[in-house]
């Protein structure tokens, strides 16, 4: 089964989260895995679906104006000001969607580590700690990149965390939202080459090839409506 490799887009925090969720819910080729890397319109932070807004506010940088949004997935607070962000959707019924959260987490992050290794980065999926309760990519602090958990991508020598992610499963499949903290990579990287390598490795794991695919014809009213919902005080301050 091939992997649809979608064009790169840039958006605000609520728009990016809305599009990721709609790629899970409304993708026209429902049985096909899809992958996208995307950018941020300005300084942005996202935080996990179950996190308390009071904790999030206390962890944000003081005095700065940032775009903040609650994610549809779990995990902790992610600083997107200098990261490389992606989303992967694996449809319901695919073997990788059907495994436990720790297994899908490991497989995706082993592909990511292998793509970094192709450019000389000593990276690997961490294999010696207990997973977070929701299979997410942050430690007990609730702030991602402060501590590496099971199958996060780390430097093999120092153990410093390079990449983490969070997952959501529903009747449509699995949404995997991931982030690489660029400063933690520790070496100049050709990010275009990394993008191609990572997608190709994911395609192979999913049983096919990564194929450049036009942007799907999502319902623009639905995109706008969900973006508005994710921008609302009710969504951001739900907990």
Active site residues: 144
Residue 209 tokens read as 């090839």
Distance CA 4, CA 29 (A): 9
Beta bridge partner(s), residue 181: 83
The secondary structure of 157-216 as a DSSP string is TT--EEEEEEEEEETTEEEEEEEEEHHHH-S---HHHHHHHHHHHHHHHTTS-EEE-PPP
Q: Residue 203 is encoded by which pair of tokens?
A: 């395609």
Q: Break the chain down into helix, strand, coil percent, rounded to 5.
A: 30, 25, 45
């Amino acid at each position: 089964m091939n992997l649809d490799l979608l064009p790169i887009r840039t958006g605000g925090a609520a728009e990016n989260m809305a599009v990721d969720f709609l790629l899970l819910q409304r993708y026209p080729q429902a049985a096909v895995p899809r992958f996208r890397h995307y950018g941020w319109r300005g300084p942005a932070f996202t935080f996990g679906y179950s996190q308390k807004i009071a904790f999030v506010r206390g962890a944000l940088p003081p005095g700065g104006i940032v775009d903040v949004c609650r994610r549809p997935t779990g995990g902790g607070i992610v600083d997107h000001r200098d990261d490389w962000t992606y989303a992967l959707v694996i449809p319901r019924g695919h073997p990788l969607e059907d495994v436990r959260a720790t297994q899908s987490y490991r497989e995706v992050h082993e592909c990511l580590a292998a793509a970094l290794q192709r450019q000389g980065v000593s990276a690997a999926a961490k294999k010696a700690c207990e997973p977070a309760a929701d299979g997410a990519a942050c430690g007990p602090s609730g702030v991602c990149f402060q501590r590496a958990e099971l199958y996060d991508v780390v430097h093999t020598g120092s153990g410093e965390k390079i990449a983490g992610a969070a997952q959501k499963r529903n009747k449509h499949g699995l949404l995997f939202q991931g982030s690489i903290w660029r400063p933690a990579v520790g070496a100049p990287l050709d990010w275009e080459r990394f993008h191609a390598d990572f997608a190709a490795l994911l395609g192979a794991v999913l049983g096919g090839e990564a194929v450049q695919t036009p942007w799907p014809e999502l319902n623009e009213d639905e995109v706008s409506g969900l973006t508005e919902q994710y921008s609302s005080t009710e969504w951001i301050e739900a907990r």
